[in-house]
Copies of this chain bind each other. A is one copy, B any other.
Amino acid sequence: MGKTYIFGHKNPDTDSIISSLVMTEFEKRTGNAEVVACRLGMVNKETEYILNYVGIEAPELIEDLEDGEEVIIVDTANPGELIPNLENVKIKKIVDHHQVLLNTSYPVFYRAEPVGCTETIMYKLYKEHNLQIDKKIATLMLSAIISDTLLLKSPTCTEDDINAVKELSKIAEINYETYGMDMLKAGTDLSSFTIEQILALDAKAISLKDKKSIIAQVNTASIPEVMKMKSDLEAGMNKIINENGLDLFMLLITDIINSNTQTIALGNSANIVEKAYNVKLQDNTALLEGVVSRKKQVVPIMTENA
């Protein structure tokens, strides 16, 4: 039997990295020893904080795989976010909490639920298989749920996510609110990144009907701090718009303390933002009150108004 490579989406967030690690552990403990935790991009500051806290290495960085290899996909079912030759590898399993965008020509193990985080599903899988969750795994799991739900405050957060975090924080012996805020704040440290890197940290290519768009997000504890870089960010965004023929580049600068988002929108279709949120872009920017979730509060309403 060959190896099975386990990875989440490109521009990996905390959930993608941790799902790869936790799924790898799950496979080993259920009899599939030949598994390799992988990632399709650099580890962000928040994830780095968590890995250091737990004392564990990041998954192996890969760019592609040879045809015919076996893979397990976590935290996405979007071919555009995966390896280029996805059609030529054998997908064994998918564990995800997003929309279904991937097709297969053979039956697979597919486990998805509309919850806030892949780890909430992994937590269920461990329980269903009567696998004990140790402190390390519990800390990893709860960190990912805190990350994806912004400390259980995002509208994507469900009862299942809350229950999982409460149970896991007991096992991990962690005050999840204090730990979670420290972890989220660590993720807002942009000091070591170039403008290009900031714009790529959590950028998703999204088609708003026929409008070619990128919607990128950065978390912060202080919107004014990020807005100091506004003109540099705009220059970077315009460069990406020109190079990729985009109709829209929307940057979400999300205040994780107060649960608001300042957006900078550039491109010929920037006015979709005005229509969608009933705001006026002043100098390309507007405050979107109460908006924190790209998945629930941005993509659907932007699509509708495109």
Contact = CB atoms under 8 A, between A and B. Distances in A.
Nearest to A116: B107
Nearest to A106: B99
Nearest to A127: B128
A104 interface: yes
Contacts of A97: 107
Nearest to A299: B105
Number of copies: 2
A114 interface: yes
Nearest to A156: B107
Interface residues of A, number: 22
Contacts of A113: 107, 109-110
A103 B110 CA distance: 13
A213 B133 CA distance: 50
A131 interface: no
A109 B100 CA distance: 10
B114 A112 contact: no
A101 interface: yes
Nearest to A129: B128
A99 B107 contact: yes
Contacts of A295: 107
Given A98-B107, A108-B112, A109-B114, 10 more contacts: A99-B103, A100-B102, A100-B103, A100-B104, A107-B113, A108-B114, A109-B113, A110-B110, A124-B128, A128-B128
Interface of A: 97-114, 124, 128, 295, 300
